[in-house]
A = this chain, B = another copy of it.
Amino acid sequence: MPKLRVHNFSISLDGYGAGPAQSEDEPLGVGGEALHEWVVATRAWRREHGMDGGEEGVDSEVVGAGTEGIGATIMGRNMFGPIRGPWPDEAWKGWWGNDPPFHHRVFVLTHHPRAPIEMEGGTTFEFVTDGIETALERAFDAAGGRDVRLGGGVATIQQYLRAGLVDELHVAVAPLLLHGGERLFDEPLAPPSGYEVIKFVGSGSVAHFWLSRSKQ
């Protein structure tokens, strides 16, 4: 069975997956970019983005695993861009330039309809206005038997977790405090949508935790 997977989702030691006051200049909120320093330092991430170099080792393996077997992506509106409310025009096409690093269909959750955007390199952004379950169905269809990656941000992951729809969740705790923002585990993920930690590995830079649904 294809799975819905979350990879490389970084939170601070005080639990925040994004800092306060998100904006176009600071898409991850104040201080939030530091959450992902360990990702961009890896060879896997640099290769994915067409660059040489980067560090090998646990972090790079973990980052690389996040794209393996993935056939479609789901993300929330806030991960796609800083615009809130209705789309003012067709100008905003994501944070990632003309050739985004997805190379498959990406489903963006929003309350505001918009026509799909075909990007270079095989990425298409499609806007889903009728809820997380519809987005998941469409993503599984698009993935054609492969898994679906749930990108973020915090609010989107929480919705899928509470509905018990996430199959695997990899969280990296970064050694920093954000002192505010969006907290990933802000409410207990109690049964029936319970999750448990099934694996832990500490690298030199961050602490990696893998979660899956609890056996009921």
Count residues on chain A whose CB falls below 8 Å from chain B CBs: 30
How many copies the complex holds: the figure is 2
Can you list, as one digit per residue, whether each of A184-216 has a CB less than 8 Å from chain B (1) or not (0)? Answer: 010011100011110111111111010100000
Q: Is the CB of A189 within 8 A of B185?
A: no
Can you list, as one digit per residue, whether each of A23-48 has a CB less than 8 Å from chain B (1) or not (0)? Answer: 00000000000000000000000000
Does A118 interact with chain B (Cβ within 8 Å)?
A: no
Does A177 interact with chain B (Cβ within 8 Å)?
A: yes
Interface residues of A in 141-178 (CB under 8 A from B): 171, 173, 175-177
15 new A-B pairs (CB below 8 Å) besides A177-B197, A202-B206? A13-B171, A13-B185, A13-B197, A14-B188, A14-B189, A15-B15, A15-B185, A175-B197, A176-B196, A177-B189, A177-B211, A200-B202, A200-B206, A202-B202, A202-B207
